[in-house]
Structure 1
Amino acid sequence: MTEALSRAERMRMPLAREVAKAVAIENGVCIRSIPMRVIDTETGKSQTVYLPCNATLESRCPACAKRNRHLRMAQCREGWHLESEPVAETDEPDNYQRYLLELRADFQVMREDAERAGQPTEDLDLGLAELDAEIRAAGTRGQVVRATAGKRKRSTRRRQDAPDLPRRKMANTTLGRVYTSPDGKRYRPSMFITLTLPSYGRVRDGAPVDPASYDYSRAARDALHFSKLVDRFVQNLRRVAGYDVQYFASVEPQKRLAPHLHMAIRGTLTRADIRAVVAATYHQVWWPSCDVVRFDGDNLPVWVERPQQSGGDQDKQTGDYVDPVSGEVLPTWEEALDRLGDDEDAEPLHVVRFGSQIDVQGVLAGTRDADQCIRYLSKYLTKSIGGTIESEDRRRRDHAARLVEALRYEPCSPMCPNWLRYGVQPKNARAGMSPGRCKGRAHKPEHLGYGGRRVLVSRKWSNKTLAEHGQDRRAWVLQVLGIADDRNRGDAHRYVWRRVPEGDPGLPPLDVRLLHLVAQRQRWRRHLVELQARAEGRPADTLSAIDGRPCGQL
Structure 2
Amino acid sequence: MTSTQIPAPTDGQPLDQERLTRAQKALLALSDEVARQLAEDHGVCVRPLAMRRIDLTSGRVDVVPVPCGSTREDRCRPCADKARRLRMVQCRQGWHLEHEPVAAPADPTARQKELMAVRADLHAAYTVAREQGDEDECEEIRGVVAEIDAELRALGVRGRLAPLDPPDRAAVKRSTRRRQDAPNLPRRPVEKRTLGQVFGGRYRPSTFLTLTLDSYGRVDAEGAAVDPGTYDYRRAARDAIHFPKIVDRFWQNTRRCVGWDVQYFGTVEPQKRGAPHFHAAIRGTIPRAELRAIAAATYHQVWWPPHDEIKYSGDRLPRWDDRAKAFVDPDTREALPTWEEATDPEVLITPAHTVVFGAQVHVKGILGGTEEAGRHIGYLTKYLTKSVGQAAGLGEDASARQREHARRLVAELRITPCSPRCPVWLLYGVQPKGARPSTTPGVCKGKAHRPEHLGLAGRRVLVSRKWSNKSLADHRAERSAFVRQLLHRAGVQPAYAVDDGPFEWERTAPGDRDVPPRPVLLLHAIHQRQRWRADYDAALKAAGDPPDQNRSATEGEAA
- Map of 2:260 onto structure 1: 243
Counterpart position of 1:108: 123
- Counterpart Cα distance in 1 of 2:442 and 2:19: 49
| 8 A Cα contact 2:188 2:259, kept in partner | yes
Q: Partner of 2:210 in structure 1?
A: 194
The answer on whether the counterparts of 2:88 and 2:377 sit within 8 Å (CA) in structure 1 is yes
Moved more, 350-359 or 101-110: 101-110
Give the equivalent residue in structure 2 for 1:57: 72
**In 2 relative to 1, CA 57–132 (structure 1 residues): closer, same or farther, beyond 3 Å?**
farther
CA distance in 1, matches of 2:515, 2:280: 45
1:143 aligns with 2:163: no
Is the contact made by 1:385 and 1:448 (CA closer than 8 Å) also made in structure 2?
A: yes
Contact 2:100 2:193 in 1 (8 A): yes
Aligned partner of 1:169 in structure 2 is: 189
Query: Does the residue aligned with 1:497 lie in a helix, a strand or coil?
Result: strand
Query: Contact 2:425/2:442 (CA < 8 Å) preserved in 1?
Result: no
Change (3 A) 1:8 1:101: farther
Give the secondary structure class of the aligned counterpart of 1:342.
Answer: coil
Letter in 1 for 2:351: P
Residue 466 of structure 2 corresponds to residue 460 of structure 1: yes
C-alpha displacement of 1:247: 0.6
Residue 55 (structure 2) aligned to one of 19, 24, 40: 40
* SS of alignment partner, residue 383 of structure 2: coil
Residues 533 and 416 from structure 1, CA distance in 2 versus in 1: closer, same or farther, beyond 3 angstroms? same
Q: Distance in 1 between matches of 2:403 and 2:485?
A: 48
State yes or no: 1:330 paired with 2:336: yes
Instruction: Flag the 1:115–1:62 CA change in 2: closer, same or farther, 3 A.
Output: farther
Residues 329-360 of structure 1 show CA distances to partners (whole Å, capped at 9, x for unaligned) of: 1111111111xx1048x211000011111100
**Residues 412 and 130 of structure 1: is their aligned pair in 2 closer, same or farther, counting only changes over 3 Å?**
farther
Shift, 1:115, TM fit: 4.7
User: Which residue type is aligned with residue 256 of structure 1?
Assistant: R
**Kindly tell me: are residues 122 and 21 of structure 1, through their superposed partners in 2, closer, same or farther at Cα, counting changes over 3 Å?**
farther
Cα distance in 1, alignment partners of residues 227 and 128 from structure 2 = 63
- Give the whole-Å Cα distance in 1 for the aligned partners of 2:38 and 2:500: 36
**Count of aligned pairs:** 528
Q: 1:525 touches 1:551 (CA, 8 Å); kept in 2?
A: no
Paired residue for 2:27?
12
In structure 1, which of residues 369, 388, 392 is the aligned counterpart of residue 397 of structure 2?
Answer: 392
In structure 1, the residue matched to 2:521 is 513
Gaps of 5+ in 2: 4-17
Farther-moved stretch of structure 1 (511-520 vs 113-122): 113-122
Name which of 499, 502, 506 aligns with 1:498.
506
Do residues 477 (structure 1) and 501 (structure 2) align?
no
Q: Any conservation in 1 of the 2:82–2:556 contact (CA below 8 Å)?
A: no
Q: Deviations over 1:93-134 (max 9, x none)?
A: 333333332333334334444555566456655554454333
TM-score norm. by structure 1 comes to 0.89
Shift of 1:450: 1.2
Give SS of 2:301's match: strand
Report the Cα distance in structure 1 between the residues aligned to 2:342 and 2:259, rounded to whole angstroms.
39
Change (3 A) 1:548 1:59: closer
Q: 1:364 aligns with which of 362, 367, 374?
A: 367
Equivalent pair of 1:442/1:450 in contact (CA under 8 Å): yes
Q: 3-state DSSP class of the match of 2:354?
A: strand
User: Which position in structure 2 is the counterpart of 1:263?
Assistant: 280
Identity %: 52
How far 1:254 moved relative to its partner?
Answer: 1.0
SS in 2 for 1:294: coil
Question: Which is worse superposed, 277-286 or 198-207?
Answer: 198-207
Distance 1:521 1:490 in 2: 18
CA contact (8 A) 1:34 1:499 kept: no
Give the whole-Å Cα distance in 1 for the aligned partners of 2:126 and 2:428. Answer: 37
2:533 aligned with 1:525: yes
TM-score, normalization by structure 2: 0.88
The aligned amino acid for 1:436 is: G
Q: Which runs of 5+ in 1 are unaligned?
A: 308-318
Pairing 1:412–2:412 present: no
Q: Which residue pairs with 1:212 in the alignment?
A: 229
